[in-house]
Amino acid sequence: EEEEEEKDEL
Protein backbone atom coordinates (compact mmCIF):
# COMPACT_ATOMS: atom_id res chain seq x y z
CA GLU A 1 0.00 0.00 0.00
CA GLU A 2 1.64 3.26 -1.07
CA GLU A 3 1.55 6.18 1.33
CA GLU A 4 -0.59 9.10 0.22
CA GLU A 5 1.14 11.48 -2.21
CA GLU A 6 -0.41 14.89 -2.68
CA LYS A 7 -1.94 15.35 -6.10
CA ASP A 8 -0.29 18.53 -7.27
CA GLU A 9 -0.02 17.55 -10.94
CA LEU A 10 -2.58 17.32 -13.71
Partner 1 sequence: MNIFRFLGDMSHILSFLLLLHKIVGGKSAAGISLRTAEMYAIVFCTRYIDLLWNFASLYNYLLKLLFIGASLTIVYFMRYGPSQKATYNADEDAFPVQYLIAPCAVLGVLINQDHSSPFEMVWAFSIYLEAVAILPQLFLLQKQGEVENLTSHYVFALGAYRALYLLNWMFRFMTEPDYQQRIVWLSGLVQTALYCDFFYHYYQSKKGGLNKSVKLP
Binding site for partner 1 (CB under 8 A): 1-10
Sort 1 into a burial class: Cβ within 10 Å, 0-12 / 13-18 / 19+.
exposed
| Residue 1 C-beta: closest distance to partner 1, Å | 6
Residue 5 CB, nearest approach to partner 1 (Å): 6
Minimum distance, C-beta of residue 7 to partner 1, in the bound complex (Å):
7
